[in-house]
Structure formats: structure tokens, C-alpha cells
């Protein structure tokens, strides 16, 4: 039997939830993932992989935030190296 989980998304990470879900859908096509107010809901996972799902959602959120916030610095670095 498959199970469902809801991962709470802290307020300062909510702006990154949709991008994180897009990445997770690519990595885990069998999971049904959606963004709800204040949470990311994951359905259709095996009970034995609930801990993995929690970890993957948290990591995707963290990764998306780092990517987004570091974009300006990466662009500045690339510009200064190429000049």
C-alpha cells in the first residue's frame, strides 16, 4: 500500500517550492508531487521510502534556494572572468 506525506515548507523557502517540485518530478516520476499552501505534498510513495522522500524534498528546497540566491554572484564572476 502506498502512502502520502506532507512536508512543511517554512515561510522563507516558500518561494522556491514550485521549482523544487519540478526537479523532484523529474527525479521521481512515480511520485505525485504538488505544492499546497505552506507544504509540499507527496503521494504514491512506498511506506519504506517516507524518510527518503522527506530528505529529498528538504534537499530540493535547499538546493533551489542556494541556486537562486547565488545566481547574481555566478553571473558577476563569469562576467569578470570573461572580461
Kindly list the structural domains of the chain, giving each domain's residue range(s) and its CATH number in brackets, ordered by start. Answer: 3-82 (3.30.70)
Residue range 11-69, pLDDT digits in tens: 999 999 999 999 999 999 999 999 999 999 999 898 888 999 999 999 999 999 999 99
What pLDDT score does 54 carry?
94
d(CA 15, CA 47): 28
Instruction: Categorize the per-residue pLDDT at 77 as very low, low, confident or very high, splitting at 50, 70 and 90.
Output: confident
Residue 20 dihedral angles phi and psi, to the nearest 5°: -65, -40
Instruction: Categorize the per-residue pLDDT at 2 as very low, low, confident or very high, splitting at 50, 70 and 90.
Output: confident
Q: Give the contacts of 54 (CB within 8 A, at least 6 positions apart).
A: 5, 7
| Cβ 40 vs Cβ 54: under 8 Å | no
Strands in 32-36's sheet, in edge-to-edge order, are 3-8, 39-45, 32-36
Amino acid at each position: 500500500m502506498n502512502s502520502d506525506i506532507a512536508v512543511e515548507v517554512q515561510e522563507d523557502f516558500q518561494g522556491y517550492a514550485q521549482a523544487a517540485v519540478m526537479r523532484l518530478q523529474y527525479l521521481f516520476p512515480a511520485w505525485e508531487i504538488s505544492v499546497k499552501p505552506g507544504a509540499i505534498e507527496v503521494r504514491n510513495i512506498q511506506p519504506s521510502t517516507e524518510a527518503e522522500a522527506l530528505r529529498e524534498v528538504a534537499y530540493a528546497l535547499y538546493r533551489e534556494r542556494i541556486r537562486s540566491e547565488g545566481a547574481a554572484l555566478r553571473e558577476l564572476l563569469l562576467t569578470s572572468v570573461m572580461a
